[in-house]
C-alpha cells in the first residue's frame, strides 16, 4: 500500500510539472496570428507543444499538426489550429482544433480517438457568428448533441 501511494505521488508530481511546462510555454507563445475571423487566416506553429484539457479532468499534451477547416453547429466554417493530444500514460488520445482571438479561445472542437475513429466530444463557439455569447456543446458517441450550455 505504501509503495503504491509513493508511485502515485511521483506520477502526480510529474503530471503537474509537465503540465505546468506546457501551460506556461503556450501562454508565452503566440500560436495563432492574423486572427481576423472574417478572413480566418490562421498561422499555427507546427511541431510546438500544446496542452488540451480533456473531459476526464486531466490535461493531455501533444504537438500542433497544422491548420484544418471545420464546420460548427452554428453554421460557421473556419480554419482551426489542430493538435494531437494524449495523457502522460498514453491511455487517452484526443484531437483538438481551436481558434483564438486576443489569446482567448473563441472556437474549439475536441474529438476522442477510438482506434482509427474520431468521435466528437465537444464544440465551443459563439451562439451565432454575431454573438458575444459562447456556447459549449457536448456530443453523444453517435454524434448527436447531448447538451448545450451558453454564457
Which residues lie closer than 8 Å to 150 by C-beta, 6 or more apart? 127, 133, 134, 135, 136
pLDDT tens for residues 91-113?
889 999 999 888 788 899 999 99
Question: Considering the chain, what is the average pLDDT of its residues?
Answer: 78
Number of folded domains that form the chain = 1
The reported pTM is 0.68
pLDDT at 147 > cutoff 60 = yes
Taking only the tens place, the pLDDT of each residue in 57-67 is 778 889 999 99
Q: What's the domain range around 138?
A: 2-150
Least Cα distance to 86 among 142, 18, 30, 17 occurs for: 18
Amino acid at each position: 500500500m505504501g509503495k503504491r501511494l509513493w508511485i502515485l505521488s511521483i506520477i502526480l508530481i510529474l503530471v503537474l510539472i509537465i503540465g505546468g511546462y506546457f501551460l506556461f510555454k503556450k501562454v508565452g507563445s503566440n500560436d495563432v496570428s492574423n486572427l481576423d475571423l472574417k478572413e480566418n487566416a490562421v498561422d499555427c506553429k507546427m511541431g510546438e507543444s500544446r496542452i488540451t484539457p480533456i473531459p476526464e479532468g486531466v490535461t493531455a499534451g501533444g504537438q500542433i499538426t497544422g491548420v484544418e477547416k471545420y464546420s460548427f453547429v452554428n453554421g460557421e466554417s473556419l480554419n482551426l489550429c489542430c493538435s494531437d493530444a494524449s495523457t502522460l500514460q498514453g491511455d487517452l488520445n484526443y484531437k483538438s482544433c481551436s481558434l483564438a482571438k486576443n489569446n482567448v479561445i473563441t472556437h474549439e472542437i475536441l474529438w476522442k480517438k477510438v482506434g482509427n475513429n474520431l468521435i466528437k466530444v465537444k464544440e465551443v463557439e459563439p451562439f451565432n457568428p454575431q454573438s458575444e455569447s459562447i456556447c459549449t456543446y457536448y456530443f453523444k458517441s453517435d454524434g448527436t448533441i447531448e447538451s448545450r450550455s451558453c454564457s
